[in-house]
């Protein structure tokens, strides 16, 4: 199986590569459109700021490439948010694959960003096979995706938000499966078996 990790100016590629290695999968980190198109699975991790990440994707033509992909695709954290239409983070137009918006957490008595373990519920995606509701996963984010028909799991942090999305071949999680222990491993295995 050929797994490609999208290389751009945001990312948490080392820990994703390590997590895949623990389950016996080698992955390449690439910004080559042909490599991305020919991969069996594509992973789009992200840590960082949305507008600079989108600028990097557009400069390399990767925004068009990502929209054209038809194989199973997994966005992680910022990689999930960038699949949406728009983020309030610096008023950024995103990839527009998922017709939802990304909002900033209101800070009323809440620590922002949310950093740490929280639960996922209302699971409805093949990547959650054998994952129980109320499972704890690891989050680090100051912005969240609103809920909608593409919501594949929800989490509560001051409000209910989408902690996972599914739209056609595009799957995405707000949390970090690569840092979420056995539950995260199971989610990655499920994605790789799609």
pLDDT of residue 108: 77
Instruction: Give how far the C-alpha of residue 123 lies from the chain's centroid of Cα atoms, to the nearest Å.
Output: 15
- Torsion over CA of 60, 187, 111 and 108, rounded to 10 degrees? 90
Contact 172/148 with Cβ under 8 angstroms? no
pLDDT of residue 106: 86
Report how far residue 180's alpha carbon sits from residue 79's, in angstroms, rounded to the nearest whole number: 17
Catalytic, out of 141, 167, 171, 176: 176
Residues facing 120 on adjacent strands: 135
Instruction: Give the HSE-up count for residue 44: Cα atoms under 13 Å, Cβ half-sphere.
Output: 27
HEC states along 72-96? Answer: CEEEECHHHHCCCCEECHHHEECCC
Q: Which of 33, 38, 1, 3 is nearest to 17 (CA)?
A: 3
pLDDT of residue 140: 96
What are the chain's domains? 3-192 (3.40.50.880)
Catalytic, out of 141, 171, 178, 189: 178
**Structural tokens at position 114:** 């949310």
The yes-or-no answer on residue 159 being catalytic is: no
Q: Which of 170, 171, 141, 134 is nearest to 155 (CA)?
A: 134
Residues 9-42 as b/e (b if ≥16 CB within 10 A, e otherwise) read bbbbbeebbebbeeeebebebebebeebeebebb
> In which region does residue 126 sit, left (phi positive, over 0), alpha (psi from -120 to 50) or beta (all else)?
alpha
pLDDT of residue 9: 78
The yes-or-no answer on residue 35 being catalytic is: no
pTM more than 0.75 = yes
Write out the chain's pLDDT in tens, 194 residues: 999 999 997 777 999 999 999 999 999 999 999 999 999 999 999 888 999 999 999 999 999 999 999 999 999 999 999 999 999 999 999 999 999 999 999 877 889 999 999 999 999 999 999 999 999 999 999 999 999 999 999 999 999 999 999 999 999 999 999 999 999 999 999 999 99
The yes-or-no answer on residue 94 being catalytic is: no
Catalytic, out of 77, 89, 94, 141: 77
pLDDT of residue 166: 98
């Amino acid at each position: 199986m050929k797994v490609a990790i999208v290389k751009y100016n945001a990312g948490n590629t080392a820990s994703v590569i390590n997590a895949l290695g623990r389950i016996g999968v080698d992955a390449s980190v690439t910004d080559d459109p042909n490599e991305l198109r020919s991969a069996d699975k594509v992973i789009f991790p992200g840590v960082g700021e949305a507008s600079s990440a989108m600028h990097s994707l557009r400069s390399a033509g990767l925004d068009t490439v990502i929209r054209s992909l038809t194989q199973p695709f997994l966005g992680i954290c910022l990689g999930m948010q960038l699949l949406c239409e728009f983020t309030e983070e610096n008023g950024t137009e995103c990839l527009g694959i998922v017709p939802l918006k990304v909002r900033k957490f209101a800070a009323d008595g809440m620590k922002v960003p949310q950093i740490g373990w929280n639960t996922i519920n209302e699971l409805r995606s093949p990547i959650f096979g054998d994952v129980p509701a109320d499972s704890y996963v690891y989050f680090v984010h100051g912005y969240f995706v609103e809920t909608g028909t593409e919501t594949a799991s929800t989490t509560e942090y001051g409000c209910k938000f989408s902690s996972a999305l599914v739209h056609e071949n595009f799957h995405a999680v707000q949390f970090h499966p690569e840092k979420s222990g056995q539950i995260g491993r199971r989610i990655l295995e499920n994605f790789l078996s799609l």
